[in-house]
Amino acid sequence: MLKHLLAILFLSFCFSSFAQLVVDEPPTKPPKPLTKHQAKIEEENHNCIHRNRYSSIQRLNFYPFNKASTVQIVSYDVKHDTGELYGKVGNKLPIANDTICYSQLDEIKTLSN
């Protein structure tokens, strides 16, 4: 009896594997060619060069440089202890009592003129 039960189970597993659908990936279509306007924009985007349009004295007249005494670039790790979503805390500096908490910053670089 046990042999018959095992044979039935084995055959049912074999037949169920043949019943699976094999989904072929749809053929990928080649991308559409760019229009002349899109090609012109694409060409302009590939011409990235640094241009000094403003001197350091002129740049100091623009916001936020006219309000700041120094400019710093900082890096820090986002802590997930708060239970909030990553997007809510991912773009905020660690601040405590209305000041930046420098103990939680990993790297600080003060920029020169």
pLDDT digits (tens, 9 = 90+) for 6-58: 888 887 777 666 655 666 666 677 888 989 999 998 888 887 777 778 888 88
Strands 99-100 and 107-110: unpaired
CA distance 75 to 46: 29
Q: What would the pLDDT profile of 70-105 be if each residue is shown by its tens digit?
A: 888 888 876 655 555 444 445 677 788 888 888 888
CA distance 11 to 57: 84
Three-state DSSP class for 104?
Answer: helix
Q: What is the mean pLDDT of the chain?
A: 78
